[in-house]
Amino acid sequence: MTDQHNPKPEQDTTHFGYKTVKTEEKQAMVADVFHSVAAKYDIMNDLMSFGVHRVWKKYTIEMSGVRVGNKVLDIAGGTGDLTKAFSKRVGPNGQVILADINESMLRVGRDKLADSGVAGNLEVVQANAEVLPFPNDFFDVVTIAFGLRNVTDKDKALAEMHRVLKPGGRLLVLEFSKPKNELLSKAYDLYSFKALPLMGKLVTQDADSYQYLAESIRKHPDQETLKGMMLNAGFARVSFHNLTGGIVAMHRGVKA
């Protein structure tokens, strides 16, 4: 039994794909997955999505409304696809922070951005989405692409994203979601649980990590549930747009 003086205790267990694990263990388990796949992450993204992930990300960038001089936080930014595009858009007087909890992913992203000649308006920060090391009301735009499903406490992370946004600032969440068509859903399941682990085994010698990724997608909240979570975190004018039949959805919310 809880009351205002004794807040509700944190749950002792959570999910890691289809497995039930201790809450405090999930972060390290997810880290192991991305340490394993970091070097081949971009190659696998192109193979798994047949290159369509680039279209999904371009749509998110367009919907962000990022302008010259803006401050942008790209959470779980990994190898820096969104970060690179935002860096060009905000110009020399803007700022883009690439944040990721995983050191291996950040290293790959930092090297890739340096090789592509990204301007000096970029900072790379190792950070946990649940405890963002940034001040209140700081960013014009926050994005998280294909990262929220790996966060242990999604509500806490969404609250942190709300905190660091300026009033009027925008959050964009690009994530795998639930296909709307039953036939598409069945085909997608077959592809996810048969083809993805096989690709992982052939390209990265790691089938288990891609089995986890397929499972993590199925455990992620559907479109309407995530919309409700964003509203609960304080966002206004929350909407979502299904991409590729709902295999992916882009959610957008504004800090009032």
Write out the binding residues for S-adenosyl-L-methionine.
79, 100, 128-129
Give the whole-angstrom CA distance, residue 206 versus residue 223. 30
Asked whether residue 108 is assigned to any structural domain, the reply reads: yes
Asked whether residue 191 is assigned to any structural domain, the reply reads: no
Asked whether residue 205 is assigned to any structural domain, the reply reads: no
Residue 106 backbone phi and psi in degrees, to 5: -65, -40
Asked whether residue 196 is assigned to any structural domain, the reply reads: no
Asked whether residue 188 is assigned to any structural domain, the reply reads: no
**What pLDDT, on a 0 to 100 scale, did the predictor assign at position 40?**
67
Q: pLDDT, tens digit, for every residue of 174-226?
A: 999 999 899 999 998 888 888 888 887 888 887 888 888 888 888 899 999 99
Answer for the pair 196, 213: CB distance below 8 angstroms, yes or no: yes
pLDDT, one tens digit for every residue, the chain (256 residues): 444 444 444 568 887 777 777 887 778 777 677 766 766 677 777 778 888 999 999 999 999 999 999 999 999 998 899 999 999 999 999 999 999 999 988 998 999 998 888 868 999 999 999 999 999 999 999 999 999 999 999 999 999 999 999 999 999 999 999 998 999 999 988 888 888 888 878 888 878 888 888 888 888 999 999 999 999 999 999 999 999 999 999 999 999 9
Write out the binding residues.
79, 100, 128-129
Q: Domain range spanning residue 69?
A: 14-180+210-255
Asked whether residue 67 is assigned to any structural domain, the reply reads: yes
Asked whether residue 197 is assigned to any structural domain, the reply reads: no
> What does pLDDT average to over the chain?
88
**Left (φ > 0), alpha (ψ -120 to 50) or beta: where does 75 sit?**
beta
Asked whether residue 77 is assigned to any structural domain, the reply reads: yes
Q: What is the CATH number of the domain that holds 164?
A: 3.40.50.150
The number of domains in the chain is 1
